Amino acid sequence: MEEEKKTFYINLGSQEISQIKEGNNDAFTIQATEEEMFRLRQVLNEVFNADERSFWRSHIPFRHYSKDEDNDEYDYEMRHAYQMIYDLGDEKTKAFIEEIGMKQDEEPDEVYDEKNPLE
């Protein structure tokens, strides 16, 4: 039996995932199972961790952005998050992600299963 999909509202800025539409938490609307939500939460946690590492790295003035693995990891995790949200999103969510150029060309399984090239 297939697990029921529920509506969730996502705010990437605050990394909030909610079933209740409130305030500005509805930047993206998706339909997902509990397992898909768990996977998305894991990716958002990785975005947070990479963001924190790049924040601390930014205080090292002699290290250039283009040669920074922490920033590369943050970019990778954000693309992963956008792709998951796109795959689960409603039409408005998909249109916005396409408009801002964050939709990946690969099939979803290729993006999700891809090993982080920075590891």
| Mean pLDDT, residues 69-97 taken together | 88
pLDDT band at 111 (very low <50, low <70, confident <90, very high): very low
In a domain, 61, yes or no: yes
**Structure tokens given for 50:** 């990479």
In a domain, 36, yes or no: yes
Question: Hey, what's the torsion of the CAs at 88, 5, 1, 40, to 10 degrees?
Answer: 50
Provide the domain limits for residue 26: 6-113
In a domain, 118, yes or no: no
In a domain, 119, yes or no: no
Query: What per-residue confidence (pLDDT) applies to 14?
Result: 86
Residues 6+ apart with CB under 8 A from 9: 16, 17, 18, 19, 20, 21, 25, 26, 27, 28, 29
Give the pTM.
Answer: 0.74
**Structure tokens given for 74:** 């943050």
| Segment 30-70, tens digit of pLDDT | 999 999 999 999 999 998 887 776 665 555 666 555 665 66
Count how many domains the chain has. Answer: 1
In a domain, 105, yes or no: yes
